[in-house]
Structures are given as C-alpha cells and as structure tokens.
Structure 1
C-alpha cells in the first residue's frame, strides 16, 4: 500500500469539492481530491445554474469569477404564470439584489481549470474509497487506483461526494438521523439550442401541471414540464414536449416559444432530504452528501456553496489560530440555513405544482396562496428574499 499525507482529503470533485479545494489553496492549506469518475464524465453532467449573489461572491473569492461575470446572465427578477397571466417578481426592486444564470457545468469547468493551473492534486478513477477513523485521532482515506491500494492520512475529511457517495454511508446508522419527503411527480427536462422565450425565468402553474422556462445562455434554453413518475423519456418526442409546454404557458408566452431539436432529455424525480448532523468527528458532509432539495427554488448548488463557506471558515480558523470553534459550529450553522432553504423549496413546489388526488379545498388554498403572494408587498418581498438567498 502506498501512503501519503495531506491536511484535508476531499472526496468528490463536483462543484462543492472543487470550490473548497480552491479556497483552501488560496490560503496555503493543502488538499487532495478523490473521485471515482473522470473529469470528462463530471463535465458532461447537465445541472441547474441559478446562482445567488452569495455564491457568486464565493466564486470570486476563489478566483474563478472572470468568465462567470463575462458570460453569466444577470436576472433582476422572474415571472410566475397562473390563471393565464404573467406576474413579475422584481428581485432588484424588492431586495436590491439579482441572481446570475450560469450553468453548473461551467462553474465546474472554471474550478477544474483553476485547480489544474495551481498544480493541485486530484485523483480520478478511484475505487473502494473508505473514510476511516474519522472519529479518532488518525483520520485517513483508503482507496484502489488501477488495482493498487493507497492510503491518504489527513487532519480532516470533507465528504463532497453527493447523495449516493460513500461519505455519508460511512457513518454508523446510530450516529445519524435522516429526514425525507418524496414528491409524487417528476420533471421532464430538455436542452435545446434555441433562444429563450423570455430574458428571465418563467414558472407556470397550470391545470395540466407545472412548467418552467429557463436558459443556459442567450441561445441555449432549458425547459421543464411536470410529469408522472411512471413516464418514460422514450414516450416524449420533441414535438410532444413542445406542444405540452406551450399548453401550460400564457398565450403571449406560448406564441413566442422557439422550438427546435433537443440534444438532452431526461426525467428527474423530486425529493427533499436532510441528514443531521453534518459533522462526525473529523468528517464533514458538504452539499448533496447531506441534503437534497427539489429544484423549484433553485437552491441545490447554492446550499452546497454555503456549506463550503462554513467549512472553509472553520478550517481557516483552525490552521491560522489553532481554534476549533468554527469547526464545532459547522453543523449547526449549515443546518440552520439548509432547513430554511428546504422550507422555501418545499413551499415553491407545493404552490406551483398540481398534486395527484388534490381535493377542491386544497386547490382553492393553492390559488389563494398564489394570489396573496403576488398581490401582497410582504408576500412578494418574502419570496424575493428567499429566492436571492438568505445571508451566509
């Protein structure tokens, strides 16, 4: 078995692992990143990209904001459609802040490029990764690479390896508590190289189900329609998708939709998931390893970024001052923000989707909620405050 040592071993090279590694490198803390899949595989994944201003600031702090500011689309608001009418939510007017549309794939690419430019160590294609002794004084991670056993000794382990990763599953069942809600529908999404129907996002509540008009750039659109969990991608031709999308939009928006062939089409189930705590000795869970939110509130990547912020601050304090105060507070601080974002994402989901077996009473409540939020200055302000992101 080959051995090496680092200060922080990061499991997972998605945006949270790469962002943490880049921030640590900026203050001279060494980190090695491990991942079971290749860089090309990671960059081939399609993910959301509505960035809160706090996330943008953190990317700037990591030195990877140049292309984001050059190519990202700044949105001062978004629209909610119901009863055949568009209702605008002006984020800038209500909060003084905006969000930026910049794909998660592009965020990850920028972080990969920065890491490689700094000559930091990332090891891809690893197998049988095992975080070990993180409850004791000698935390380490073992793994196989090309059939050879390796061990990395470290001070801390950051589990940034997603919902299905090994980090959370390495924790004994009795030490962790999980909370989960599964929603009875999914999102059928497509990517197409066509201009977006509007400059800003449109969320639509319709008797046929939810729809979302989003984008990746000025000439690449991302559209979604609510679908059954029993649906199959193969059953949805492009023509069927475009027809269904337009049915769920106000006439003025539907008529402006530019159609074209899709180059990616998938169905994603919706769930809320949180584990508590997010720290186990010297192992810290970050991002999707600890929590999942439905994409309705655009919070997944942004929550991962705030986790990184809290963990980075703790590690910086530990190595600079010898204090573990911020590390000890990591789980509490992260979960406080996580649960507020989980609540917001749940609320957006129940307000905008049509649920199976909804009673007439439930439907009237949903309609009243939409009218209240759009007609009340306090309602719109609360929506906007949560959408741009609560403070770290």
Structure 2
C-alpha cells in the first residue's frame, strides 16, 4: 500500500510540474506574439532621412512593409532549415511534404502580406482585435468542407459565442475615434484580409497536410513563405539611396540603414523579433498544447489583443492614435469572450464523443493568430 501511495503521489507531482511548465510556455507564447504588432508599429515610426517631408512635415518610414516582411520572414526561414535537415538525415522525411505544403503556403504568403502591411495603417490594438474574425472565417469554411463540424456549429453555445465575436469585433472597429476613413479603413480591411487568409491556411492544412509532423509541416510552409516574401521585397520594397546619393542596386537595403547600421540595436531588433514571433512563438505554443491541451492554450492566446493594446499604452504613451478608446475596450473584450465561448463549446463536444483533437490543426501560422480547434474528420465528399 505505501508503495502504491508513493506512485500516486509521484504521478501527481509529475502532472503538476507538467501543468506549471505548460502554463509558463503558453504565457511566453502570448508574450512572443504580443511583441510583433508593437514592434512593427515602432518600425513604422522610424523616418527615412533621405526622403522629402510631406505637407505635414512627416517623412515616410525608413523600412517599408515589404522590406520588413522580407527581412523578418527571410531570416526566420533559416531557423527552420535544421529541423528539415534532421528529418532527412534520420529518415523521418514525410512523403510528399513539399507538394502538400504548396497550397497552405500560398494562403500563408497572402496572410503574411496583409499582416505585415496592416500595422502601417492602423493601430496594433485595433489590428489584433480585427484578426479575431479569423475564427468566423474558419467556422464558415469548416461548415462547408467538414461534415463533422456542422454538428458543433449548430449548437447554442457555439452560435452564442459566434454572435458575441461578430458583434464585439464590429463595434470595436466602428467605434474607432475619427471613423474609418483613409488609412485606418485600409488597415482594417488588411486585417480582415489577413484573418480570412489565415482561415484558408488552416483549412488547407487539414485538407493537404493532415497527419504530418506539425513542426516539419510548418517548417516546409515557412521555406515557401520566406522565399516568396524575399522575392516580393526585391520587387516592391523601397529602393534606398546610398551615402554617395546613388540608388541601391537592389531594393530592401534600407533595413541596413536603421539607426546604428547593420551592427546596431535597431537592425538586431528586426532579426530578434523575427525569431521571437515566427520561430520561438510557434515552438512554445506547440509544446504548451502538449502539456495543457488545446482548449487552455488556445484560450490564453486569445488574450493577445488585450496584451497588445496594453503594450501600446506603455510603449506609445504620447501617441493616442495607437490607443483604443474606453468603449473599444469593452466591445473588444466582448469579442474575446465570444471566442472563448466558441473554443469551450467545441472542446466540450469534441471531448465527449470523439478522439482527441489533432494539435496541428490548431497550430497558428503566424504570431497574430491562434486558430480555433478543428476535428480530424476528412473533407466532405462533393
């Protein structure tokens, strides 16, 4: 009997340690994904000294969004090469990986383009609240493609959460001080576009990459995405001007002209936040799911708009354009509560009568989104 008691106590201690580690991991994940919209807003505020000031005396950003995307994703792509090489070396390479990753990568590229440009037009808080519509797009797509999802979507709890999410997001956007004219409207539309494309990514993963190791699948998607965003930077990025006044041979070199140059803190931050958001954040989130389960991990990450909005107050205290109003806080929290109700309802029904949800279906493709849980059912046949 004492021996059995010791075994039970040991299991309890081990489980408690695992939950503590999981909680730490998901909090770190939230911190990682909180930093990215805030950093992009900071990057936008660094003016280009070589450009002419506008009528209001302001200058365009030194690093445009195409350049920021190219450097960030291009650098982070390098971090995902070792897992791919290790899988090939040890004979664990999934068959058809590159072909399967093709369509998910197309949607990821589009989503990342919108995600990277949006902070140049809208505050980080409003952007991340707008991204919560991702769950609505996933819901609609899942209802069309996956028969098993329709049972969950028809429940009162899920529909209540969906209504709360839609109402909260719409009111948060409509209550924007100054309205949605000009740049703000563009930023909101880009955020909605990013949310829709991230949903398409999630659904395409379920269709083409189901059953593949999550980290390897994401590593393959990252290679396609990084290559595409670097090429887009070379086509659409700002062509800088060298010290001699001559234009650069290639576009995108203004990142090397951030204060301090290539060895300065600003350029180091550009690369650091690429690692934090695209590399470290995804790894921490996946391991937190293994310890806490999907519902808890995804629920915690839904708080990202709150942490981003609080961070904007701290980092940009004298820039009210980066802040949400009091009413926007209330409606934004309503949207997050709705997302939580949707996650809870889905998790409860999935746990009652089906096998556990595959974590990969919920591995978000980037720092701005934690996708709603999906079942493991194959796509419905037409």
TM range (shorter): under 0.3
The structure that is helix-richer by fraction is 2
| Structure 1 length-normalised TM | 0.25
The structure that is strand-richer by fraction is 1
| Structure 2 length-normalised TM | 0.25
Q: Greater relative contact order: 1 or 2 (C-alpha under 8 angstroms, separation 6 or more)?
A: 2
